[in-house]
Structures are given as C-alpha cells and as structure tokens.
Structure 1
Amino acid sequence: MMAIFIFVTVLALLLLGIPVAFVFGSVAIFFAFFIPELGFGIFDILSLRIYGIMSNSTLMAVPLFIAMGLILEKSKMAERLLISMSALFRDIRGGLAVSVVLVGAMLAASTGIVSASVVMMSVIALPLMLRAGYDKSLASSTVVASGTLGQIIPPSIILIILGDVMSVSVGELFMGAVLPGALLVGLYIAYILIRSYFSPELAPIPKEVKKVSKIEIFFSIIPPLLLMFSVLGSIFAGIASPTESAAFGVIGAIILSAINRSLNFEMLKYASLGSVKLSGMIFMILIASTAFSLVFNELGGTDAIVEFFHEDIGNVWFFIAISMLIIFVAGFFIDFIEISFIIVPILVPVMIGFGIDPLWFAILIALNLQASFLTPPFGLSLFFLKGVAGDSVSSSEIYRGIIPFILLQILTIGLVMIFPDLVFAFV
C-alpha cells in the first residue's frame, strides 16, 4: 500500500507541473527519511547506478541523434523536400497531403525528434496546404500526424530509451520498427487518397505548384535518403553500433547543411546547446528515477504488481490490454520520457514473468505513445501545431481532423498484436 501511495504521489505532483527530475528525487528522499525501515542507507548503491548510466554506450546515442536532428531542422532540408515532393504528386487529388506524409516519414527517419518535425512541418507544409484550398481539418491533421511519425520510425529517441529501460538491443528495435512504421505511413496515404476521392472538395488539385526540374528534385530527395540509409543501414548490417551511426549521422547532417548553404556558427551553436539541454533533461530524469525505483522496489511495489498480474489475474492478454490502456491514458498528461522511466520499468518484471518478447512489447509501447501524442485534448503534437498555426486553424478543426489518424494508429497497434511477424521480419 505504501508503494502504491508513493506512485500516486509522483503522478499527482507531475500533474501539478513540477519538473519530473525534482519529483522523482524529492519523493524518494522524503519517503526514505520518514519510513524507518528504509533510511538513507538505501541510497548507498545509487552512485554505482549513476556511474553505470553515465558509462552506458547505448545512451550516448541520445545526444548525438538529437544534435543531428537539430542541425537538419535548421538546414532547410524539409522545405526543399516538400517543394520537390509536391511537384511529383501535383496531378494527383490529395497529392499534396501525400507528399506531406512522405516528407514527414523522411524527416522522421532523418531526425527522430517529434517536436522538431511537427514544428518544421507546421511552418512549411500547413500554409502551403491552406493556400491550395485544402480543408483545414484535413490539412492540420495530416501535418501533425506526419510530424509525429518520428516517434516510431527509426532513429527514434523513444526507441533508444526503451531499449535501455527494457534491456533490448537498440539495433533490433530499429529493425523491428521498420515494418510497423511503413504500415502506418501506408495507412495514412490510403486514407488521404480515399477521402480525397470521395470528397474532392477537401483536397483540390493545386492550381499553382512551383515548377521544379528533375535535377532539383533529384538533389532534394537523394541526399536525405542517403543519410537515412547510411545511418540505419550501418546499424541493420551490423557494421556500426547505434552510437557510432549517430556520430556518423551528425557528420552527415553537417555536410547536408553545407550543401544547402545553411551551415554557420549560429546553427552549430543552436544544435550544441539544444542537444545539451535535452540530453541533460533526459539524464537527470533517469538518475532521479533510479533513486525512486530503489525506494519503490524496497517497499515491494514491483513484487506486488507482478503478483497481481501473474498470480491473481494470470492472463497475459489482460496484462497487455491494461498496460496499453495505462500508457495511452498517461500519454495525455505526461511526456514519453516520464512514461518510459516511471511506468515501463514497473511493467518489465511482469512482462518477463509472462514470457512476453520484450522487442515486440517495446514496439507496441512506442506505437501507443505515438497515438497519445495525437489524442485530444492533451496531445503534445497538437499543442506544437496550434502554437505555430495560431488563428489560421482552430482547436476544434484540429481535433476533428485528427480522429481518423488516431483510429489508424489503433488499427496498427491491433495488427502488430495479431501479426507479431511485422516486428520480427527484419530482425
């Protein structure tokens, strides 16, 4: 009961808006001080845990991929990609929306940072679609759903974190996410084309599309594709570890920005400071959550949860359904980083007890977290879009348009549950 009370206290403090690292650390220290059987001696091994975190070579990929994404964010690559893609699909009804989805997928495979992708797509793609006469609901939902693909398409930051938390190879997670990510992109495109066919007024063929030569299209699309295949391909082929590929990705991003003539000191400063801030936040949360887990486990919290699901319930599908529901609802209120460090470690022992494959379970969690990013009224990606769009699109129009994309997310989760080979095809 005390462990449950601690967990509820943490969630309540997070909902009040207190920074996550301070919540974890202060709650752990407070309860260790006031519960006699604990005491501060429980933190004797904390320094060893922190050293293990700091020397974890897998987690080194996090700041590198963040830096790569931030450099590409400022390189004007997205703008050139969208112009080229819209030129390719200009004669297809709904083609502009399809190009937005494809560009979102390419950005996801190049950056892995959801917030950067959503903001970039909102700044570049949304005005273009609105000028072309697209329905505001369809345009805004397409932009936000496409920008959030970075949550599941490698090299996703969440997959790296889940790999560490669940003790799964990050390279295998990247490979396992390829088909589910491609399936989701395919469903998005199919929905847009079908919706445009039956309701042509929602997605008119643009009358004015900037003419782009084949050479311009080639040089707009090929460089980011080469970066994507070199970073992910080296991991899939076993040539390099995720950390080594991330370092190569940073160099590739710098080269791309130089080709686009956007490389300068201000860009490098922006990427460096941004990666330090984001990485510092992630590692502070990780260290504080380690202190919290010491207290939570010492009070028998993990053992009680394992006993409840494995012995009292004893149904693996009930556990999976409850887990997915908890993560989905939690995603309304707290960020994926907090979910990864608060909820997922509690679920891992139960997962092991049921013999669930951690790779498959991690992909389900990543897909679930992506759905929560899009779900009204608290989906973070919706806030990113609204912040950029301002008064050009109302919140109700965004919420109304995003519902079909959320249903496609849920359909994808269901298909991955029914057909696990979607995860293991390339592993």
Structure 2
Amino acid sequence: MSDVTVALLGILILVVLMLLEMPVAFCMFVVGFLGLWIIQGRAQAFNIIGSDIWEQFSSYGMSVVPFFILMGNIAFRSGVTNDLFHAAYSWVGSVRGGMGVTTVIASAFFGAICGSNAATAATMGTIALPMMSKFGYDDSLNTGSVAVGGTLGVMIPPSVVLIVIGIQYNLSIAKLFVAELPAGLLLTVMFAITVLLLCWRNPKLGPAGPRTTFGEKIKALLGVIETLLLFVLVIGGMFAGWFTPTEGGAVGCFGAIIIGVARGKLKWPAFKQALWDTISTSTMVILLVASAVVLGRFLTAAYLPSALAEWVTSINAPNLAVLLVIIIVYVLGGMFSDALGFLTLSVPVFFPLAEALGYNIVWFAVLVTVVTTFGAISPPVGVNLYVVKNLRPDIPIATIMKGAMWFVPAYILVIVLLIAIPQLITAVVSAA
C-alpha cells in the first residue's frame, strides 16, 4: 500500500469519526499519529508528535490566541453587546427592516471582539430575537438575520479563525486581518441591503421602529465610542506596525478591562467568568492547532499535498474548476462544523494545492473563510441555524432555514466578486 493511499484512508477514517460526532481535535490527532506510525514507524511517530506539539504549545505566536479571546469575553461581560445593539438601532431602527439591519451591524461590531460565528449568533440572538418579536417582525426575517449576522463573527478582524490559520500555515496575521476587512465589510453591507430590499417588497416582514432624535443618536454612539476606539487602536496599531498581533491582543485586553471598570460594569464575578471562558476556549483552540500539526505532518510525510497538486496538473483541469470544487468542499464542511474546526482540519490539504495552482495564499485564506461561514447558514445542517433554534425552540427549523435562504444570493455575490476581482483583497494587502 502506497503512502498516498494510507493518507487517503486516513482522511476517510477522519470523516467517519467526525460524522460519529467525535471531537475534531481528537480525530485529527488519532489519524495523524497512527498514520505517522504506519508510514515512518513507532519511534519516529512519537518523536514527531512530542517535538512538534511542544513547539506549538510553547511558541510565542500561540499566545495571541488567549489575548484576543479574553478581550472578547471581557467586553461581553461588560455589557458591550447591549450598547452596540442600542447604538446601531438608534441610527437605522426607524426604517422598514431597521431592526434586522441593526442586528447585522451590531453582529459585525461584536464580531470584531468575538471571532466565532456560533458565539456571535448566540450572543446577539439573546438581544435581537426578543426585540424583533416585540416590534412585530416576521419570524423568518427575525431568525434569519440573527443566523447570518452570526457569520460576521468570523469575518470581521480580529478573527480567531484567521489567527489560527496564520499560525498553522506560517502566514502574517496582520496581513490576514488587512485582507479580511474588505470581505467582512462587503458582507455586512450586502446583508443590510438584503434586509432593506425584503422589507421594501413586503413591509409586513419588518415594520419601522420608533424614531430617535439626533441627540439620542449621538448619546447612543458615545456609549460605544470607547469600544470602537479600542478596536481602531488594536487593528490600526497592527496595520501601522506599532505592535505585533500578540502585543495588540495584550493592548486589547488591557483596554477592555479599563473600559469595563471605568463604566462600572466589570465586577469581580464577571471578570472571573471571563477568565474561565477564556481558559476553556483557548484550550480548545490550542488543542485544535496542535492536533492539526500532527495531521499535517502525516499528510506531508505521505506526500498527499504534492501528489494532489501533480494529479490536478496532469488532468489539465482549469484552475477555476478546481477552485469551485474546493469551494463546494468548504461549504459542506461549514455546514457540519464551526468554521474554526473545519478550516484547521483542511489547511494541510488545500492550502499547498492553492499555492501550487498559483493563487495568492492570503486571498485564498480569506475566500475559504467566507465560504465556510456560508456553510454555517446553509440548510439542512448549518450550525448557526441550530444555534438560533436553541434560542427560539417555538419557531420551526423550516422557518429559520427560510429566513437564512433569503441571504444566500448576497453570500454568492460576495464570493463571485472575490473570485472575479481578487484585487479587492490583494490590493489592500499590498497597500498596507
């Protein structure tokens, strides 16, 4: 049996284990370790996983993960989500569909301090779902806007998903953040336009809310100005080269603590819970990365990435056709798992192939992140759909799926634009 055949069997076993709902990190580690044992022997397998896992756990770059996660948890425990929702509503809530647009905008801002599509949907859903029901919004638009808004948790920097991709494939995290921003903003605008168009065609879907005065708008905006300035400082500081991503995460944590304490909303119990949540999430992320390294070593030792690239070249398939197949795989992956888990799993296979085909790897990283988040709202098993279902058990899953499907054209349009005009990403990275 050839090494490539062993690798393909390993991927098949990996998929089966994931379908059995085994933890993704466990699946990657077991398959990677056993594959190395078969190909290179027991001693070499133990040697590789020992040295590589320790290298990942002890690397300076890995410290960026808990910093950004802690920043998001502290901001959440300080009541930032309510303030963001109120600020967005004060400016756009008085138009038809304004509450849905508010949900999208607030999700985008919260995504800047969260980094997870499921967590953003769950957090914003606790605020937005009752509010939209109160104002008579249609259940499908209500739940659909929350589900799709949740995907912005991954698409607005600083994104934990792109941090992990950067660490795993040795890419500049700052460049990934720069590249992600136009894609995230484009998605936000397209989602908002979708809500407005739906309510323009059918005003009953989302009635206009009460008007707010200009003074109330300014007051609401001032209520989140510290959070917005912190975001600008952290991301802008990395763009400008003032500090590294790890230092940026530390600055963000310190700033979030100062803001929470100064506003009197960050008490000791909330701070302890934020720390505990950070430990839990960071452990999960680091285990994913370490396990992905083991899997990546196995696939590389089996020469699967190079064999895949050679096979694609030999069949003379157009690069676009290969890219479309990869996109379909990522959509399916995003349906079944959170973006972080599937992207971590797929990096060792598809990123070398993308480089072999001549694609800009930073552009490719952003593209597949967008595609994977699209899978999170795609029926029948998009993870965000079921997050919203857990928040509103009284609403049929078919209604939630219907609401999410209204946003599919917006997602497809953004994906097409990113493929047709890669300069939307690459030009921004070059200029940074």
CA separation of 1:215 and 1:25: change in aligned 2, threshold 3 A: closer
Check whether the contact 1:134–1:204 (CA below 8 A) recurs between aligned residues.
yes
Query: Counterpart of 2:229?
Result: 226
Cα distance, 1:265 vs structure 2: 1.7
Instruction: Specify the code of the residue in structure 1 equivalent to 2:397.
Output: S
Query: Counterpart of 1:67?
Result: 70
In 2, Cα distance between the equivalents of 1:383 and 1:367?
A: 19
In 2, Cα distance between the equivalents of 1:425 and 1:356?
A: 14
Partner of residue 421 from structure 1, selected from 420, 423, 426: 423
Question: How does 1:26-45 map onto structure 2 within 5 Å?
Answer: 26-32=30-36, 35=38, 38-45=41-48
In 1, Cα distance between the equivalents of 2:40 and 2:58?
A: 31
Indicate yes or no: 2:255 matched with 1:252.
yes
Aligned pairs, number: 425
Query: Counterpart of 1:411?
Result: 413
Query: Counterpart of 2:196?
Result: 193
Cα distance, 1:359 vs structure 2: 0.8
Instruction: Specify the code of the residue in structure 2 equivalent to 1:348.
Output: F
Query: Counterpart of 1:24?
Result: 28
CA separation of 1:409 and 1:90: change in aligned 2, threshold 3 A: closer
In 2, Cα distance between the equivalents of 1:113 and 1:335?
A: 8
In 2, Cα distance between the equivalents of 1:203 and 1:165?
A: 43
In 2, Cα distance between the equivalents of 1:111 and 1:99?
A: 18
What's the CA shift string for 1:168-207, capped at 9, x where partnerless? 2111111111111111111111111121112111111235
CA separation of 1:360 and 1:92: change in aligned 2, threshold 3 A: same
233-242 or 252-261: which moved more?
A: 252-261
TM-score, structure 1 length as denominator? 0.93
CA separation of 1:25 and 1:166: change in aligned 2, threshold 3 A: closer
CA separation of 1:128 and 1:57: change in aligned 2, threshold 3 A: same
In 1, Cα distance between the equivalents of 2:110 and 2:277?
A: 18
Query: Counterpart of 2:104?
Result: 101
In 2, Cα distance between the equivalents of 1:218 and 1:31?
A: 55
- What's the secondary structure of 1:155's corresponding residue? coil
CA separation of 1:216 and 1:167: change in aligned 2, threshold 3 A: same
Indicate yes or no: 2:281 matched with 1:272.
no
Question: How does 1:349-388 map onto structure 2 within 5 Å?
Answer: 349-388=352-391
Cα distance, 1:210 vs structure 2: 11
In 2, Cα distance between the equivalents of 1:50 and 1:90?
A: 49
Query: Counterpart of 1:401?
Result: 403
CA separation of 1:337 and 1:204: change in aligned 2, threshold 3 A: closer
Query: Counterpart of 1:179?
Result: 182
Query: Counterpart of 1:285?
Result: 288
In 1, Cα distance between the equivalents of 2:99 and 2:221?
A: 18
Query: Counterpart of 1:168?
Result: 171
Cα distance, 1:107 vs structure 2: 0.9
Query: Counterpart of 2:318?
Result: 315
In 2, Cα distance between the equivalents of 1:300 and 1:179?
A: 35
Instruction: Specify the code of the residue in structure 2 equivalent to 1:308.
Output: W
Check whether the contact 1:374–1:380 (CA below 8 A) recurs between aligned residues.
yes
In 1, Cα distance between the equivalents of 2:317 and 2:376?
A: 31
Indicate yes or no: 2:354 matched with 1:343.
no
Check whether the contact 2:337–2:383 (CA below 8 A) recurs between aligned residues.
no
Check whether the contact 1:133–1:206 (CA below 8 A) recurs between aligned residues.
no
Check whether the contact 1:77–1:220 (CA below 8 A) recurs between aligned residues.
no
Cα distance, 1:215 vs structure 2: 5.3
What's the CA shift string for 1:282-308, capped at 9, x where partnerless? 222222232233333333323321221
What's the CA shift string for 1:391-425, capped at 9, x where partnerless? 1x221111001012122112111100101111123
- What's the secondary structure of 2:359's corresponding residue? coil
Cα distance, 1:212 vs structure 2: 7.5
Query: Counterpart of 2:95?
Result: 92
Check whether the contact 1:122–1:389 (CA below 8 A) recurs between aligned residues.
no
Identical positions, percent: 28
Check whether the contact 2:376–2:383 (CA below 8 A) recurs between aligned residues.
yes
Instruction: Specify the code of the residue in structure 2 equivalent to 1:173.
Output: L
Query: Counterpart of 2:84?
Result: 81
Q: Which runs of 5+ in 2 are unaligned?
A: none
In 2, Cα distance between the equivalents of 1:28 and 1:87?
A: 52
Instruction: Specify the code of the residue in structure 1 equivalent to 2:338.
Output: D
CA separation of 1:235 and 1:316: change in aligned 2, threshold 3 A: same
Partner of residue 123 from structure 1, selected from 121, 126, 131: 126
Query: Counterpart of 1:8?
Result: 12
Query: Counterpart of 1:136?
Result: 139
Instruction: Specify the code of the residue in structure 2 equivalent to 1:206.
Output: G
In 2, Cα distance between the equivalents of 1:295 and 1:204?
A: 55
Question: RMSD of the alignment, in Å?
Answer: 2.1
CA separation of 1:110 and 1:289: change in aligned 2, threshold 3 A: closer
CA separation of 1:413 and 1:214: change in aligned 2, threshold 3 A: closer
- What's the secondary structure of 1:60's corresponding residue? helix
In 2, Cα distance between the equivalents of 1:161 and 1:48?
A: 19
Q: Which runs of 5+ in 1 are unaligned?
A: none
Indicate yes or no: 2:245 matched with 1:242.
yes
Cα distance, 1:214 vs structure 2: 4.7
